Every structure is written in structure tokens, then in C-alpha cells.
């Protein structure tokens, strides 16, 4: 499945030029600072914004080209807005039923009950939106969208209007949504933590221009893209829980043929997890060090490096085929003779597990 989008607009001080062909599997995050054109891109795909001379196709359906424009209500997209936007005159149950009633039986793939269960809102059904918290409202809004069985789900910073606590309350639902429904999602965000937890691939947008798009691991570690140079630059690794039970409150997960010791709750063996490793938590040594408190030490190969400041260098290393980032000093680079192709050991001090 592919979503291809091509258009450009020039409005006063705002410019946005897009030429994208995205494989629509899993969650694709559209990532960029505020004002970079993320929402406009999403609205154009939805058909909420009618941009002249745009070309938008999803699978074999043409949504917009020079001769036609399929209106929003015929695109069968789901759209979750920043604010929950529930219909104030309808109860939660009626809100959720609204889209479902407008979906023909043949196109229903997500059952009403499933949408309600996924978002855990059974107890809210008879209530009206004014009595719900922001987090509850957004969960209802997501369930309402799902119940219409969209072919493509567009989410415009669905968590940004919520405080941290509510955010953490909704994130697990978004993750399960991803796992349980084979539904392509475009997720607009400027929050790295949401993107790291949810996204499979990334579109990086800045000042109305697409800097790059591809699998999230690649996008995070491409040294020619800004993400690898943020102060909180990080890498993600996909891993599988390998030990049956934990020791010392830690457990082993494996990736690229290596076992990582991680601090995590008991997870069943075989569970897929995502490891999040900050570039600051990776140090490089020429030999495998013994007698260190660091548990995770692996052989790696230097792929490329780039000086970020006079003192700092970002080094991209490969653990098997998986890229990792290590932020080290230029002094170390000189002294260790770090150059592309060199084999080293990476000491990984901190690993966060995103289950």
C-alpha cells in the first residue's frame, strides 16, 4: 500500500513543498517543529484543505489530481484532531456510533465493541462529553474514529493538548491499536518520546520541506539529518525478550545476535520490545573492558562520524546491521583513532525498554 502526495503551496510567509511516496504500513510519524507544515500536510491528505494542483493517491484510489477532488466524506479516512472535538449534543455512545452508522456493512472491519474495548471506555458510554476529562474525551474521539473502519488513520498531535499524566494514560492504547488493527497510521508530532514509542517510520519536515523519510532507526541515525544532532539524540533497536525470568530485577533481550541486560518488569519470552539508547550513554573502547559496572558491551564497527562542535563528535556505529549513535569528544576520536571501518567496542550504559 502506498500513499503518494505531491503539492506545493506558497502562502504569505508560509511555504510547503511535498513530494512523498510512503509505504503505508504501521505508524508513520510526521515529525518536525511547530510551523513546519505538518498539520497542513495532514489536512491536505484528508481533503480538509483543498490545495490547488495537488496530486494525492492512496493505493489505487485517486483522491486528488488535476481533474478530480474526492471530498473528505468519501475518502474513508479517520482523523483525530489535536483537541478531542466530540459532538457536544450527543452522548459518548452516540458519538461513537456516528461514524459507524455512515459506514456500509461491507466496509466495516472494526467492530464497535472492539473500538470501545481497545480504548477502555465502556464505562463512559452513557455520558456526555462535557463531563469527561481531556484524556477520556480523546480516547472517545479515537474510538469514534476507529468505529468508522477507516482505511487510513490520520492523527494530528492527538496527545499535545493533554498533560503528561493523561498522555501516559493514552499511549498504551495507541500502541495496542497499532498491534491489533492492521491499520496504516500517519501520526503528526513534535514530541520525540511519542515518536520513539510509536513510530515505525518517520517523515522529517522542517520549514515546509521534507528533509528525509524512511524507517525510524535510519532517520534517527542519519548524520545528515537534524535528529542525530539534537541534544537528546538517540537510537532505537528492535529486540525480543529472551530469558524466561529476571535476575537482580533485570532481564535479557536479544537483538542482532547479542543479549542485552535491561532493567524491566517481567515480560514473557518472545515479547517484542523496543530499546531506546541515548547517544550520550554509549562510550567507545578499543578493547573489551573487564571489571566495569557496565553490563552491555558489544563489538561494533564505525560507519561514519561528523564533528558537531569543536569539542564534540557524533559517531555512527553498527551493531550487526543496526545503527547506534555515540556522542564522544574530538579528543577521544583523535586518541582512539576512530575512523570509518574501525572495529571497536561500544559500552552501553543506559537502555530504556519500550514494551
Partner 1 sequence: MDFSADITAFFLTLKLALIATLILLLIGTPIAWWLAHTRWRYRFVVEAMIALPLVLPPTVLGFYLLLLLGASGPLAMLGGGTLAFTFTGLVIGSVIYSMPFVIQPLQDAFQAAGNRPLEVAATLGASPLDRFLTVALPLARPGFITAAVLGFAHTIGEFGVVLMIGGNIPGRTQVLSIAIYDHVESLDYASAHLLSGALVILSFVLLVTVYASNRRFRVLKL
Residues that bind partner 1 in the complex, under the rule CB under 8 A: 46, 48, 71-74, 76-79, 81, 83, 85, 87-89, 98-99, 102-103, 128, 130-131, 144-145, 148
Those residues with Cβ within 8 angstroms of residue 102's Cβ, 6 or more apart along the chain or in another chain: 73, 148
SS3 101: helix
Complex with partner 1: residue 44 or 46, whichever CB lies closer: 46
Complex with partner 1: residue 94 or 242, whichever CB lies closer: 94
Residue 278 Cβ, how far from partner 1 at the closest point, in Å?
A: 37
Report the alpha-carbon distance of residue 48 to residue 333 in Å, rounded: 51
Residue 87 Cβ, how far from partner 1 at the closest point, in Å?
A: 6
Those residues with Cβ within 8 angstroms of residue 272's Cβ, 6 or more apart along the chain or in another chain: 238, 239, 240
Complex with partner 1: residue 32 or 99, whichever CB lies closer: 99
Residue 143 Cβ, how far from partner 1 at the closest point, in Å?
A: 12
Complex with partner 1: residue 83 or 304, whichever CB lies closer: 83
Residue 195 Cβ, how far from partner 1 at the closest point, in Å?
A: 23
Residue 215 Cβ, how far from partner 1 at the closest point, in Å?
A: 28
Residue 250 Cβ, how far from partner 1 at the closest point, in Å?
A: 45
DSSP string, 245-307: S-BTTEEEEEETTEEEEEE-----TT-EEEEEEEGGGEEEESS---S-S--EEEEEEEEEEEE
Integer angstrom CA distances of residue 240 from 218, 252, 263, 275: 20, 9, 14, 10
Q: Using the Cα atoms of residue 129, residue 131, residue 137 and residue 143 in order, give the sign of their dihedral.
A: negative
Report the alpha-carbon distance of residue 267 to residue 195 in Å, rounded: 22
Contact present, 135 and 99 (Cβ < 8 Å)? no
Complex with partner 1: residue 74 or 163, whichever CB lies closer: 74
210-227 in b/e form (b: 16+ CB < 10 A) is: bbbbbebbebbbbbebeb
Complex with partner 1: residue 85 or 246, whichever CB lies closer: 85
Complex with partner 1: residue 186 or 227, whichever CB lies closer: 186
Complex with partner 1: residue 80 or 314, whichever CB lies closer: 80
DSSP string, 115-174: HHHHHT-GGGTTSBGGGS-HHHHHHHHHHHHHHT--SEEEEESTTTTS-HHHHHHHHHHH
Residue 189 Cβ, how far from partner 1 at the closest point, in Å?
A: 19
Residue 128 Cβ, how far from partner 1 at the closest point, in Å?
A: 6
Residue 150 Cβ, how far from partner 1 at the closest point, in Å?
A: 8
Contact present, 285 and 337 (Cβ < 8 Å)? no
Complex with partner 1: residue 148 or 333, whichever CB lies closer: 148
Report the alpha-carbon distance of residue 195 to residue 153 in Å, rounded: 16
Between β-strands 201-206 and 27-31, what pairing exists: parallel, antiparallel or unpaired? Answer: parallel
Contact present, 270 and 314 (Cβ < 8 Å)? no
Amino acid at each position: 500500500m502506498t500513499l503518494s502526495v505531491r503539492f506545493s503551496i506558497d502562502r504569505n510567509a508560509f511555504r510547503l513543498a511535498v513530494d512523498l511516496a510512503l509505504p503505508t504500513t504501521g505508524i508513520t510519524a510526521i515529525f518536525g517543529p511547530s510551523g513546519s507544515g505538518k498539520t497542513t500536510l495532514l489536512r491536505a491528505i484528508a481533503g480538509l484543505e483543498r490545495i490547488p494542483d495537488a496530486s494525492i493517491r492512496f493505493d489505487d484510489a485517486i483522491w486528488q489530481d488535476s481533474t478530480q477532488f474526492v471530498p473528505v466524506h468519501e475518502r474513508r479516512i479517520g482523523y483525530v484532531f489535536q483537541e478531542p472535538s466530540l459532538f457536544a449534543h450527543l452522548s459518548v455512545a452516540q458519538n461513537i456510533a456516528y461514524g459507524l452508522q455512515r459506514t456500509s456493512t461491507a466496509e466495516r472491519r472494526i467492530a464497535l465493541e472492539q473500538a470501545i474495548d481497545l480504548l477502555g471506555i465502556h464505562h463512559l458510554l452513557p455520558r456526555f462529553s462535557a463531563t469527561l476529562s481531556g484524556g477520556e474525551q480523546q480516547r472517545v474521539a479515537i474510538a469514534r474514529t476507529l468505529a468508522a473502519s477507516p482505511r487510513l488513520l490520520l492523527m494530528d498531535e492527538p496527545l499535545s493538548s493533554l498533560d503528561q499524566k493523561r498522555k501516559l494514560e493514552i499511549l498504551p492504547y495507541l500502541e495496542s491499536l497499532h498491534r491489533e488493527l492492521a491499520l496504516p497510521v500517519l501520526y503528526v508530532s513534535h514530541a520525540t518520546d511519542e515518536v520513539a514509542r510509536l513510530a515505525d517510520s518517520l517523515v522529517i519536515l522542517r520549514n515546509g520541506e521534507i528533509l528525509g523519510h524512511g524507517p525510524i532507526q535510519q532517520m534517527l541515525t542519519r548524520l545528515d539529518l537534524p535528529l542525530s544532532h539534537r541534544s537528546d539524540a538517540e537510537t532505537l533497536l528492535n529486540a525480543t525478550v529472551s530469558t524466561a525470568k529476571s535476575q537482580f530485577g533485570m532481564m535479557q533481550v536479544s537483538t542482532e545476535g547479542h543479549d542485552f541486560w535491561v532493567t524491566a518488569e517481567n515480560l514473557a519470552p518472545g515479547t517484542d520490545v523496543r530499546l531506546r539508547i541515548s547517544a550520550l550513554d554509549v562510550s567507545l573502547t578499543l578493547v573489551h573492558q573487564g571489571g566495569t559496572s557496565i553490563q552491555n558491551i558489544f563489538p561494533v564497527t564505525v560507519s561514519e562520524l561528523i564533528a558537531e562542535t569543536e569539542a564534540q563528535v557524533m559517531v555512527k556505529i553498527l551493531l550487526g546491521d543496526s545503527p547506534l549513535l555515540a556522542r564522544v569528544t574530538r579528543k577521544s576520536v583523535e586518541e582512539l583513532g576512530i575512523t570509518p571501518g574501525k572495529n571497536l567496542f561500544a559500552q552501553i550504559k543506559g537502555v530504556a525498554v519500550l514494551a
